[in-house]
Structures are given as structure tokens and as C-alpha cells.
Amino acid sequence: MNTLILKIVVVLSALHFYLPSYAQQLTAEEKELLQTRVKNKVDEYQYYLKQLSDKLSTSRAVKDNAYTLALKLFIGEGENYEVSDEDLCRDVIKSAVRMEISSKYRSTKSRIMQKRYLINLRENRTYSQIEITDADVVRIDNIHRVGNHYECMAYFCQNNVPPVKRTQLTIDQLRARTAYSYSKANYDLAYDYYEQLVSRAPTDGNAAYRIALMTFWRKGCKYKFRNRKSAQTKAKEYLNKAIAYGSPEIKSKAENVLNNWNQRNVYF
């Protein structure tokens, strides 16, 4: 189990109580309210972490949305930010929010930018699955004033499940899963299966033809192709494979589609 020491920054405007600008110390009531507010935000944050870390059922689109919403919980949204320093009577630049991570498997602590941590979680290649545990009790301490807002430390836990050896799917199993995922409109998963299929069975003209159409319309792969031109280029590569290796029927369809694309008869 890795223990995450998360620095939570709460901007006063986000709190539902009035704090005079001249106040240097929080009252007991204000501290309790702040702690409740932070715990609620940690719960929301952990909800997004679960979506980011899930490799079994959460689509890429949902992960991207969770990534964006998680960053919005932090001042600066993962970037350096500016605050007003009342002692210096000027604005100062603060470093982007960071995670401090420790583990029972190592004695040293590591610090990582919050933005990078979330990206690593979303793009996880180390663990077969990451299980995020809910923290019913979040310990909060070291509350202190910084400019016109307060910062504190919040502690909660996360479980990293080590990789497990999985049996590789057969080509027929991949074909079945692509068809099933597509029929259920789970296009992100279907596209992933098609990519595996054309990689392991490069002469499967039918798979090449179908992934070409999905790529052209960026169905299930918008996060992989940020613009239409790159998707179109990749789609044509797949179509050429379909023409080279497909059955006479698939070859005819692929040639017709490619001709329409080249003649600009079909647009994104």
C-alpha cells in the first residue's frame, strides 16, 4: 500500500464562510469547517482517481473527463499560480501543486507534480489494475495562511495492485471481442481490440477495413488522433492493408471508399 501525502490548496472564495482579510489565525469553528470542506474535496478527488486508474471498464473519454475535473480541484489546475502576498504587498508566483508519495516498500519519499501524477495514473503501464481505497477518515494538519488563502496537508491511502500474468487472447477471441464491443457501442474498447487484432494478424483484411472506417470517423479513437488530418492518414494506411489482404468483397469496398476519400466525396 502506498501512502499519499497530498497537499490540498483551498481558495477562500470556494469556502462557505466569511473570513476577514485581517485574520491571521483560524478560529476553532473555522478550522472545523475548513477540514470538512477539504474532506469533501478529497472524496471527490478519490472518485476521479478511481476512474483514472481503472483499466477494466472505464473508457478513455471518461478518463479524460476525470483528469480535467480532478485538476480543477486544485489552485492553478496543475500549473504554477499567482497569489497576493499581503506581507510583501505584491503578487508572487507559487509552484504547481505536488504529490508527496511514500511506501512501505521504500524508505524514501518522492514528490511529483499533481498534473504528472494524474497523467501517469491515466496512462498506467506498470500495474494490471490499481485499486483506490476510500479514506473514511482523512487526517488534515499544518493549516497555515498563504496570501489570501489557506493551505493544509491531507493524508489518505491508495493500493497499487502488482501486475498479474494474463493469458494472451487468441486471434479468434480478439475478433469476437471486437464484434461484441462494437455491437454494445463501446467504441473505445472495440478500437483497442481492433488495434491488437491488426497488429497480431496483419493480413486480416476485414479487420483492417473496419478499423479504417472507425479511424476515418474517429470513432473510439478521438484521444489518439487530435486532428482530422492525422486520423485520415492512418485510416488510409489501414485501407491499403484491406486492399492488399482482404477478400474480393472487402478489397472492392476498400477501393471504393479510398477513391471517395481521395476525390473528397466524403468529409469528416
The whole-number pLDDT of residue 116 equals: 85
Query: Which stretch of DSSP H or E encloses residue 43?
Result: helix 28-53
102, pLDDT greater than 70: no
C-alpha torsion sign, points 80, 72, 31, 47: negative
Q: Would you list the DSSP string of 189-223?
A: HHHHHHHHHHHH-TT-HHHHHHHHHHHHTTSS-TT
Instruction: Dump pLDDT digits (tens) for 177-209.
Output: 899 889 988 888 889 889 999 999 999 999 999
Domains of the chain: 2-161 (no CATH), 171-260 (1.25.40.10)
Weakest mean pLDDT among 127-131, 150-154, 211-215, 243-247: 127-131
pLDDT winner (highest mean) among 17-21, 58-62, 228-232, 261-265? 228-232
Whole-angstrom Cα distance, residue 83 to residue 81? 7
High-pLDDT (> 70) share of the chain, %: 68
